[in-house]
Homo-oligomer: A and B are copies of this chain.
Amino acid sequence: MQKLQASFNGMSFSVTILGSNSAIPTPERFPTAQVLNVHERFFLIDCGEGTQIRLRKFGVNISRINNVFISHLHGDHVFGLFGLLSTYTLLGRKKELHIHAHRDLEASLEHYKKYFGTGLCYDIVFHPFITTMQMEIFNDRHLTVELVPLRHSVPVAGFIFREKPKPLNIKKDAILKYSLGIKDIRRIKDGMDYVMESGELIPNSVLTLPPLKPRSYAFCTDTSVFSKLAGILKDVDLLYFETTFSETDKKLAKLTGHSTATQAAKLARQANVGRLLMGHFSTRYKSTTTLEKEARAFFPEAYAVEDGEKYEVVQVRVE
């Protein structure tokens, strides 16, 4: 299976698939979990049973995870969380762990602390959300996370992770040529021209390269497809969208609040996303090749994921 290439400047923006099955796990496909690497800071997305085992297997250092986003409170998306919390205690974690989830998770966290959390040696900071409106739920120096209301049998959130817009890149040879100081560099990065002591004006475009384009990743499972989604997901670089079923089981998909490979592919096309990752497969399909083929009829850049695969988003400059 073809993967997206590593970004050229070493600033990671990649997702590793930890579990890609729907509710009943198999030894090859664990229940839903992924980890997004944004500049070597790791964001755990969903945490199905066995997530901590997958993280270890696929070489992710769990101590670098500081934020966990849970899409919804079905067991196959959250039952791995409690074992992970206990492992952090055994490893002597000190840093806060931030958990972003529907507000009802609080009861489970309290239950965990009361019955299984003996010796808890770090703070769990719970960031409850509701899933009725689109909103920003995370914001730091490099990244924002936007909640997308989805449609399923229980409240479900999708998440869009977006790198923040970046400043202009100053050319290294320009720094040397004009002996630019830190203050000069800051102003030039903000878009200003440079005036030499002689009074000569050096235009900003001579001194800089266009900035790197902010990258984006959207995670949407479990959900039916609905018309507003294409607008919300417009132009994301990489979209993980559930394809629990084949179009031949369209009725079952509708009945259970899931999507088909065809529906996901049409959505990806309409939203003009870069690539589509397909997952959350029903165990009724022996192979995912058929689902991938089904999707590619509508959107060629569709990939049925496997546990352990890593997909990078290439970094490019703004044109």
User: A residues touching B (Cβ–Cβ < 8 Å)?
Assistant: 23-27, 30-31, 49-50, 52-54, 56-57, 73-76, 79-80, 82-83, 86-87, 90-91, 104, 107-108, 111, 115-116, 118, 153
Contact = CB atoms under 8 A, between A and B. Distances in A.
B27 A56 contact: yes
A31 B82 CA distance: 13
Contacts of A49: 49-50, 52-53, 79-80, 83
B83 A79 contact: yes
Given A74-B116, A75-B86, 11 more contacts: A23-B90, A24-B87, A25-B53, A25-B83, A26-B56, A27-B54, A49-B52, A49-B83, A73-B115, A75-B116, A111-B111
Contact of A115 (B27, B82, B108, B115): B108
A209 to B, nearest CB: 43
What is the copy number of this chain in the assembly? Answer: 2
Contacts of A82: 75, 79
Question: Looking at A31, A53, A74, A108, which has the most chain B CB atoms within 10 Å of its CB?
Answer: A53
Given A79-B83, A86-B75, A107 B116 contact: no
B76 A86 contact: yes
A87 B56 contact: no
A115 B75 CA distance: 9
Given A107-B115, A108-B111, A53 B50 contact: yes
Nearest to A21: B53
A283 B56 CA distance: 13
A54 B74 CA distance: 21
Contact of A57 (B27, B31, B90, B115): B27
A23 B107 contact: no
Nearest to A112: B75
Contacts of A83: 25, 31, 49, 75-76, 79
Nearest to A22: B90
Contacts of A73: 115-116
11 contacts: A27-B54, A49-B52, A49-B79, A49-B83, A73-B115, A74-B116, A75-B82, A76-B86, A79-B79, A107-B111, A108-B115
Contact of A26 (B23, B30, B53): B53
A260 B116 CA distance: 25
A100 B45 CA distance: 34
A149 B261 CA distance: 54
